[in-house]
Structure formats: C-alpha cells, structure tokens
A and B are shown apart, each in its own frame.
Chain A
C-alpha cells in the first residue's frame, strides 16, 4: 500500500506547529499503524531528518500510552481499540491520513504527536485511592461482593487512561476518565468510607486542570478503547451532588464535659 500522511509536527511545547506531508510507501496491510510510522521514521532517520515523535509503549492496547487523532477520530476509525492495535488493513491504498495529537488545553503538546497527560495523574492523586496501608488488612474473602457489583466495578476499572475521551469530546471534558475511577471505588464496599470525599476532591482537581464540561454527547463512550460507558458519568454526578448537598462532612462537636 502507498499512503500520504499529513502529520502535525511541533518541535516542542513552545514552538509553533504545522502539518507536514509524508509519503508512506510499500506498507503491508498486516502492519499496525505504529509500525507504519516506524517505517516512515526509519526512512527519515536515514535522511538525517528528525523522526516523527509519538507516544507508545506496550503495543498491545493496555498501557494507554499511544494517542493519535487519526482522520478526525481518536485511535482511528475502528471501535474499541487503541492506535497500536489498529492495522493498516483498515485503510485503503492511496488514502490520505491526517494525524494530529490529542487537542486539549490540559494536554499540552510535548513534541509532534505526544502530549503531556499528567493532568490525569494529578486527578488520581487528589483522591483516586482507598486509604489502606500495606499489611493489616482483612482476609480477601471477608467482604463478599455481589458479582454484578464486582463486574460493574471491573468494567469501570478497565480504563487505561489514554485520554481518547478528552480528545473526542467537543468540550475536551475529562468526565469519562474521572467518573470511571470514581465509579469503580464508589461501587465497591472497600471504597465506601471515602466515597464522598473522593468524588469531591477528584472533581475539584479536574476543574482546576481546565478540562471542559460534559454535554453527554457520548462521543467519549464511542471512542473509548475499553468501552467505558456514559453511565459512569451519571454515577459520579449522583455521588457529587449527594456529597455536596446532603452529606455531613464533619462530625458534630462534642458538648464540653462529656
């Protein structure tokens, strides 16, 4: 296959970027999209040019590092896969492919197609955990968890933190990502003690990072490589409003002398 690539090139975070056109020739339909870029990069290196920089690591669809906006869709045209799992047989010979980085104020470009997604880490650090120290925990089978709850929590937990939801959202909202973590821990019995403080802390951090708001367009759900559902967002909203409007966050003061 021969293809024309329109690739966003940007030297660093401060530089101005632009599209550069490359030819990708002799591409096998069995190549993954990233392998196709590898081939292009090899030829660029041999010419002494700067290769196209993109984030990638595991190349089996689980680390969440790869992140390309291909022809107007995060992770390309196929459903429920990451860019590294996208194969060239999904494209036609002679096609022109436009490749852009994730676009969001909270995801500044580092170089070319790679962006800084540390905002996601900071949201998790704000409260995406259960406060237990190593050791001193009860036996794993002490808390029975209904299978449906365990399965739902697992579904939410499959998020790989790639940021496709933000990239797909017309508002660059991170609600799907944040809500998946909030849901996972909010549904499980282990997560109950911090359920309402967690959701508030994570939403506050999400707002601080400058992500947009949720309009429930479902683009995030459609593009999520792990098929995280929009239901998570509703769960988070419910917990958030419940926390903000109805939960007592501090114990009542003890009457003196008691």
Chain B
C-alpha cells in the first residue's frame, strides 16, 4: 500500500494557505447535520471539540477521567513555544520550523512542521483571549523563557503549570459549548473500539466505567486525541491512567501505527527509589535555564557520595564535571532532551552516578541562587522545588537536585496525512496520539504547541473537506457493524474476566516495563532487542494464562480497566521492539549502539532510513507489515545534528 501524505505542492510558506483554500467547505446550515466523535479531552481533544462545536457540528466528547479538565496535558510544566519574536532575538516561523526539524533529527515532514510553526503564533493569541494567565513583564506584556534545542527565547509559560493553564483554557471553551448544547460530554467513559463500515470510521464502542455498560456511538468522523503510550514502560511521567488502548484498537481496525520506537526519555526526572514506585515525576526542562548539570569527575568521589560519606557541596569545584557545558559549549545545559539524557546515562554507566542507587546526576542551583538570590529563584521555580522536596525529603535550595532520565513522551503514534487523517477514512488522530510533527525527538515546549495547533487550527479546516465529500446523510446506527463490534468488545472483556490465575495485572505491567526500559530504552542493540522480543512474547502468553482479574463487568472495576490496557501494551511493546530492530540507525530518541559517531552522538543513515515506518496490523499473532513513507527534504539540508 502506498502512503499518500497529501502534502501540498509549492513553496514551504504557502503550502498551508494554499491547502486551506483548496479544501472543500461545509455550508453553515449543513454543519449541524454532522455528528463528530472526539475521544480524549486533553489539549488536542478539548480544543478540537470546542472549535468544531463553534463551527456548528454536533460533537460527542469522551474521556475516562471524571472530568475533561483532568486529562494528562494538565501536567505539562514548562511552557509552549511560539514564533512570536516578542524578544527581538531573531526568532521567526522559519527558525522555529528549522529548530523543530533539526531537533527531531530530520525524521519529520517539512510541510507539517512548517505549518506547526506557522500556527504557533495564533495559539498564543487564542489562549490569551480565553484568559490564560501567562507570565508577564512589568510593562504588562508577555514574558518568555528559553528551552532546550534553541538559542532564542520563544517559550511562553505560566509558572510551572503551563499545561494546566492551557488545558483549563481549552476546557473553558469546551464548557461553553457543553452549556450551549453543541457538545455532549461523556466522562468516566472509555473507548474500547472503533466501528468501521465499508472501511470508513463511523463510530466507537465505549464502556461506562461506573456501570460497566457497553454502548455504541455513531458519527460521521472519529477523532482520536488520546495521548501517548509512554506507560508501556510502566514507570514514566505519564498519568497512571494514560494508555494506548484507543489508538491500539484503531490500529487493529486498520489504522497504521507509525514510528512506535521513537520514545522520548526526559533528562530531568526524580530518580527511582524502589520497586514500589508507581510513577516518575518530571522536573521541568525550564530548570536547565539556571540549573547546571554535573557529575563527579572520578568514580571514587561518586562512590563516597553514594555511600553518603560526603555531601554534594563538599565536592570541590575542580572535582566536578559539568559534562553538558564541557561537551556542548554553545548550547550548554540547554541541549535537546535526547542528548542530555544520553549523556546522563553515560555518566552513570561510567560509574560516576550519584544518589543511593547510583542512577542519578546532579542539577545544581547554587550558582543561580548566588547570582540571582534565593527569592528570585523561588519565584521562578518555587513550585518545582517544593515538589522535589515533598518527594525526596531533600531541600534543593541547599543541596543540588538528583535527576535521572525517564520516559516522558512518545513521538510515534497513529500514522496521519497532512490532514491529520489516518489511512482509515473518517478516523483522525490529533496531538501526541499521532506521529506527525516531532520526528525522532521532540523539543521541549512543543507538545502543547502541537496539541493545540491540531485541535484549534488544523482539524477545523481539514475535517470539513472529508465531511463535504461524504455528505450529511445520517450514519445508520443500526448497521450490523455496530452490533458486531460491540460483540467483539464484550467477548474480549469476558476473556479478561475469565483470567483467574495467580499474578496480578500490575506485576505483568511492571515486568513489561522492565523489559522495555532495559532493551528498548535509552540505548538499544540488535541483540538486546531480539531478546526483548522473545521476552515480551513469553510474557504476553503468560498473561493470557496466568493473570488474575477480579470482579465483574457491571460495576466500578479498575482491575478490569487495567487488564485491558496492559493487554494492549503487551502487544504494542512487541511492535516497538520490531520497529527498533528494523531501524538500524540512530536518530533522536532512538539510539542504536551500533550506529554512533566517534563522539558518541546519534548517527543517522539517511540513505536507508529517511522514511516513516508505518506498521500495518495483519491479524492476531501475525507479523505486522511495514509500509514506508519516504521523507523528502526540499528546504533543509540534512546534516549531522550538532549542538557544540
């Protein structure tokens, strides 16, 4: 099958405008005849649902949380990029485009990324109009800060909770439409399958998480805005509930899954303390604006630190290795996430890790506190420092933070074309759920940008084209496909409930996470990946024999919810390993030890791997088929990424 990305011809800067003009429109009177299903209410979902309802479509929105406001977009801390150039420091749409393409290690589409940079400026305007309280200067205008992978200050922020503020903005727009009756909101409702009729997505099957009722919903189009799959690693910065089920079910109904091995490991997270741990907490990348990353120069000193014989402040300046500043003088501590993470891992592998477990390096604010004063540092990062203190019981004003990389974001996702449509007509994927804009590594403060760009400024245009094509004829909710899909869902639930083995679902999840982190984490090898494939295979087989799922369907049953999600992670994990095995190059977050430069940087193989890997599901226990979408670079020149 050939993958048609539908990127418009013409100069980069005109592609989107031209495309918008060429898209078909739905006349205002007809819009109310269309029903749109939006799954997920994070930045992408809430903004899409609200914007489409504003246009006049009837929207049904779904989330598994108790309120749309709780989607995990809320946890984003640092900020959102936009090419406003308010700081007069040389930013432009083209520079944001270029930084993003380069940051993604040349594995994203030029057209998509340029559009993202182009609409980034509208996002800020939109959010301010909604009452999002961004940080401001004394003159009353908006403030910016810098983030990794760029040399300009283009990140807008709301202290350490930009994600919550942006989500509350989108949530308020959504609330307005719920109030007006244009959006019907279903909370505590999990999507468990997509209904396709003649190859087109026409609805979904959901489970009410309170009553267990399995219901079908029909619509002219289905938008999946269900986030990423980082929880396949068990420990990640994702929310406990974040899962791949919606995207995976869509994949099994025909939607291609692209670049699953591209996962982002965030360099600054609070290190793991023990096996009981359920979640890793991120310390915002913005901390690297003022914090200096270091490890002891010698293994001996590291050893003494680990044994708590000395404390960090007793390590002399000469015995400290500020390795990011040393290796990357021009970007310093603000190198992209994949680079920072890999270097931290290198220190630990070298025996120079600190903290009780040795799996950590320092993020030190002593200089910043000395230079700016404690109050100024507290004003900038106070809530993050408090959070660190709560979790570790160590005061970061007095001692440097201990940080270590953790799984944070997944660049891979459902394959979509320029219109955000998957290869299944009528099925769209927005935000982290799709694969489109970040290539092999996402730059900080770009996830919020992409989620909102998709929801506010892309889908309202591109969806209309498809809807105009299919026409406003109502979807036949009595079509046998609905009953059949519902049947499939119930059968699967029953098979999960029939599992009365001896091992809890959570243990399987943890085991899977260990395998993924060990073999498909920050550094991957042919051998390790092959081993992981076997291990996951065994684990999955064992799950379906030995797992223990308590309770029944017709009640609140988190054990059942979790079982369904972990079962999907077990399948996804194998695909990720397949993808990582296939991609015999290093790029961005995907680091194959076999492919590195003499300095230990990711070495791409553009001749053989400048493509999007879109995997096609072929049935249970059948190998998935690889479809390649070649990446054409007309405007940027592919080079070895350098942040020196």
Contact = CB atoms under 8 A, between A and B. Distances in A.
Are chains A and B touching directly in their complex (CB below 8 angstroms)?
yes
Interface in B364-398: 386-387, 390-391, 393
A59 interface: yes
Interface string A105-143: 000001100101110110011111111111101111101
Contact of B129 (A45, A130, A145): A130
A245 interface: no
Contacts of B75: 58, 60, 62-63
Contacts of B630: none
Contacts of A154: 133, 135, 158-159, 165
Nearest to A143: B128
A143 B142 CA distance: 10
Nearest to A190: B131
Contact of A129 (B173, B457, B550): B173
A176 B451 CA distance: 31
A120 B556 CA distance: 21
B133 A188 contact: yes
B139 A85 contact: no
Interface stretch (B64-72, B340-348, B438-446): B64-72
Contacts of B50: 134
Interface string A31-61: 1101100110010011011110101111111
Interface in B385-418: 386-387, 390-391, 393
B125 A139 contact: yes
A45 B550 contact: yes
Nearest to B126: A137
B586 to A, nearest CB: 31
Contacts of B281: 59-60
Contact of A57 (B187, B241, B393, B457): B241
B92 interface: no
Contacts of A5: none
Nearest to A127: B179
A135 B122 contact: yes
Contacts of B173: 129, 132, 134
Q: Which of A34, A114, A132 has most chain B Cβ within 10 Å?
A: A132
Contacts of A218: none
Q: Which of A42, A63, A81, A143 has most chain B Cβ within 10 Å?
A: A63
Q: Which of A34, A134, A161, A190 has most chain B Cβ within 10 Å?
A: A134
A210 interface: no
A85 B390 contact: yes
Given A51-B558, A140-B84, A129 B130 contact: yes
B436 interface: no
B23 interface: no
A57 B65 contact: yes
Contacts of B138: 147
Interface in A141-174: 141, 143-147, 150-151, 153-154, 157-158, 160-161
Interface stretch (B104-112, B270-278, B321-329, B617-625): B270-278
Given A57-B241, A150-B133, A130 B172 contact: yes
A80 interface: yes
A74 interface: no
Q: Which of B69, B139, B172 has most chain A Cβ within 10 Å?
A: B172
B175 interface: yes
A86 B389 CA distance: 11
A13 to B, nearest CB: 8
B139 A65 contact: no
Given A42-B504, A45-B550, A145-B136, A118 B67 contact: yes
B66 A53 contact: no
A28 B550 contact: no
A59 B129 contact: no
A39 B386 CA distance: 26
B250 interface: no
B598 to A, nearest CB: 39
Contacts of A126: 179
Interface string B113-157: 000000000101111111111111111111000000000000000
B551 interface: yes
B559 interface: yes
Contacts of B393: 87, 89
A146 B140 contact: yes
A38 B54 CA distance: 42
A212 interface: no
A184 B67 contact: no
Contacts of B86: 141
Contacts of A127: 179
A58 B127 CA distance: 23
Contacts of B274: 28, 30-31
A4 to B, nearest CB: 19
A224 interface: no
B175 A85 contact: no
Given A60-B75, A124-B171, A161 B130 contact: no
B140 A147 contact: yes
Given A114-B556, A117-B67, A145 B158 contact: no
B140 A110 contact: no
A37 B210 CA distance: 21
B125 A140 contact: yes
Nearest to A13: B210
A125 B179 CA distance: 5
B460 A129 contact: no
A51 B559 contact: yes
A147 B387 contact: no
Interface in B73-106: 74-75, 84, 86
Nearest to A47: B550
A134 B460 contact: yes
B421 interface: no
A51 B67 contact: no
B30 to A, nearest CB: 19
What are the nearest 7 A-B pairs in CB distance?
A144-B140, A129-B172, A137-B129, A154-B133, A140-B128, A59-B279, A134-B51
Interface of B: 47, 50-51, 54, 65-70, 72, 74-75, 84, 86, 122, 124-142, 158-159, 161, 163-165, 168, 171-173, 175-176, 178-179, 185, 187, 210, 237, 239-241, 273-274, 276-279, 281-282, 386-387, 390-391, 393, 456-457, 460, 502, 504, 506-507, 548, 550-551, 555-556, 558-559
24 contacts: A12-B556, A32-B391, A50-B551, A57-B241, A58-B70, A78-B390, A87-B391, A116-B66, A125-B179, A129-B172, A131-B176, A132-B173, A134-B460, A135-B456, A137-B128, A137-B129, A140-B134, A141-B84, A147-B137, A150-B133, A150-B140, A153-B131, A158-B161, A161-B67
